[in-house]
Amino acid sequence: MTAILEARGLGKRYGRRQALDDCTLSVPAGRVVGLVGPNGAGKSTLLQLACGLITPTSGTIEVLGGRPASGPAQLAKVGFVAQDTPTYTGLSIADHLRLGARLNPAWDEKLAQGRIQDLGLDPAQRVGKLSGGQRAQVALTLAVAKRPELLILDEPVAALDPLARREFLQGLMEYVAEHGTTVILSSHLVSDLERVCDHLVSLVASRVQIAGDVDDLLGTHFRLTTARRDAEDLPDGMRVLTATHTERQSTFIVRAAAPVHDPAWVLEPLDLEDLVLTYMADGRARPAGRSALEAQR
């Protein structure tokens, strides 16, 4: 499996604050990757390191086999849309496309013009007069028209209404389906990720808690409900992530290589939101300096 992003012991510190700590991660090519985690988990820091906007304090990161932002050829391979979908409010849409064409040697003018036309936007319109959803679409157009091998999106739909989010994600998936670009999408909205992502990375407390293809993760995590019992009484090979008990009943979230059936309990699969929230809670409860990935080894 070809990795498009490789991080080894990656860390970033701002003064006394550790924004990212000992991040070891491999992102496979050809995936739409959902990057999730609570505020302050290090998501934006990781994405900015991948773009070369900032440099690591410790460890290494490679994107597409090279150091981020190491030169024009490397910069041309990566498209980036930041959380505030930055655009120049005083410039028209057409001005933005002309700027994109001048700055990007692999610029696809037909793609850029086609997206603007399909969105029903007037190229002469100043971007400052557009809605938030329309500005996000212009920013996405600028990112994809440079024809990157990796497209990085840092919560680009966070401030959009539900309809604008759906339209943005629909446009993204149409582009991915046609061009096969690898995407890393950071978002708090698990429902959006569930609709578009096939690979998941969870960051909690500045560390990677879990990473893998969504189908594999959902196929190995279960909710187990049984008569009251201790976690130690469960079969070997079941790793307990959370446990809750009433006087007569116990409920566990477990990870296992395959479903283990027993007439004494009810075993149900998790949905993506339950999976994400479980690892967020597990990461916050875990002692500092130890990730869920390390606990599995």
Whether 35 shows a pLDDT value over 80: the answer reads yes
Whether 289 shows a pLDDT value over 70: the answer reads no
**What pLDDT score does 281 carry?**
80
> Are residues 119 and 173 part of one domain?
yes
189, 212, 235 - which closes a domain: 212
**What pLDDT score does 285 carry?**
55
> Are residues 95 and 147 part of one domain?
yes
**Mean pLDDT score, 135-164:** 90
> Are residues 232 and 91 part of one domain?
no
> Are residues 235 and 157 part of one domain?
no
For residue 78, give Cα distances in angstroms to 26, 39, 83, 181.
17, 25, 16, 10
> Are residues 144 and 53 part of one domain?
yes
**3-state secondary structure at position 105:** coil
Residue 10 pairs with which residues in a beta bridge? 23
**What pLDDT score does 81 carry?**
92
> Are residues 243 and 208 part of one domain?
no
Looking at the chain, the whole-number percentage of residues with pLDDT higher than 70 is 94
Lay out the sheet containing 199-204: strands in order across: 78-81, 150-154, 182-186, 32-36, 199-204, 207-213
> Are residues 48 and 74 part of one domain?
yes
**Arithmetic mean of pLDDT over the chain:** 90
| pLDDT band, very low/low/confident/very high, at 1 (cuts 50, 70, 90) | low
185, 212, 239 - which closes a domain: 212
Looking at the chain, the whole-number percentage of residues with pLDDT higher than 90 is 70
| pLDDT band, very low/low/confident/very high, at 295 (cuts 50, 70, 90) | very low
Q: Pick 90 or 289 by higher pLDDT.
A: 90
**3-state secondary structure at position 56:** coil
Number of compact structural domains in the chain: 2
> Are residues 188 and 170 part of one domain?
yes
> Are residues 207 and 234 part of one domain?
no
What pTM did the predictor assign?
Answer: 0.88
**What pLDDT score does 31 carry?**
93
Tell me the CATH number at 160.
3.40.50.300
> Are residues 145 and 45 part of one domain?
yes
165, 183, 212 - which closes a domain: 212
**Mean pLDDT score, 154-160:** 82
d(CA 68, CA 48): 10
> Are residues 229 and 144 part of one domain?
no
Whether 46 shows a pLDDT value over 90: the answer reads yes
Domain coverage including residue 52: 3-212
Contacts of 64 by beta carbon, 8 Å cutoff, 6+ apart: 4, 5, 74, 77, 78, 149, 150
For residue 61, give Cα distances in angstroms to 48, 49, 51, 133, 161.
11, 8, 10, 32, 34
Q: How far apart are the first and last CA of the chain?
A: 21
> Are residues 153 and 31 part of one domain?
yes
